């Protein structure tokens, strides 16, 4: 993933997030399913954390639950959802989680899990604010929490265990912006 790819993806996301919802007859409102998921993270995942990390985990959940701006967002942008053809990003797939939500959720992986040249391209063409970058980091840190919930829902302890390992790793990581 190159700086050029980041420029393209950043322009695409800026266009998506800047859509005039009123012109589309869409009303920006809270995504209730996200609120329910965040509540489950607090009740079902925080107690599974080592005691020394529970307060930090609860703080992350509280940060994720704060009111944010809403726009049209992909909702699940990760490496599996960027099409690459001939070594160049050519598209975005799997829009099943798209909806009106915090646009920083689309920035989570691309600002926190991709190579620096790609991130630089995103920053140049998207121009995220400090607040957007901080919210993106919150969403990135919550990524493995979803795997824990999936494991609990499906009765698959291996997903619970691998998700918890990711939760712990991201809680213990140093994040200069937060």
Tokens 């859509």 found at:
19
- pLDDT by residue (tens digit) across 94-123? 999 888 889 999 999 999 999 999 999 999
Q: Name the more confident of 32 and 135.
A: 135
Per the CB < 8 A criterion, the answer to whether 119 and 94 are in contact is: no
For residues 17-44, one letter each, b for 16 or more C-beta atoms within 10 angstroms of the residue's C-beta and e for the rest, the string is beeeeeeeeeeeeebeebeeebebbbee
| Sequence spans of domains, the chain | 1-30+71-103+110-128, 32-66+137-178
Q: pTM of the prediction?
A: 0.89
Q: Domain 1-30+71-103+110-128: which topology?
A: Transferase(Phosphotransferase); domain 1 (1.10.510)
Q: Give the pLDDT of residue 151.
A: 98
- pLDDT by residue (tens digit) across 10-42? 999 999 999 988 887 876 665 567 788 999 999
């Amino acid at each position: 993933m190159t700086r050029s790819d980041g420029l393209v993806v950043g322009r695409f996301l800026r266009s998506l997030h800047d859509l005039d919802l009123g012109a589309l007859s869409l009303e920006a409102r809270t995504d209730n399913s996200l609120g329910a998921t965040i509540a489950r993270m607090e009740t079902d995942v925080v107690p599974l954390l080592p005691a020394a990390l529970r307060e930090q985990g609860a703080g992350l959940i509280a940060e994720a639950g704060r009111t944010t701006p809403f726009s049209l967002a992909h909702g699940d942008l990760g490496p599996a959802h960027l099409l690459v053809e001939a070594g160049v990003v050519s598209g975005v797939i799997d829009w099943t989680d798209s909806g009106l939500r915090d646009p920083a959720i689309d920035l989570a992986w691309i600002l926190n899990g991709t190579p620096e040249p790609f991130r630089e391209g995103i920053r140049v063409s998207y121009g995220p604010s400090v607040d957007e970058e901080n919210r993106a980091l919150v969403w990135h840190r919550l990524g493995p929490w979803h795997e824990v919930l999936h494991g609990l829902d499906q009765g698959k302890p291996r997903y619970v265990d691998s998700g918890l390992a990711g939760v712990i790793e991201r809680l213990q990581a140093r994040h200069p912006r937060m």
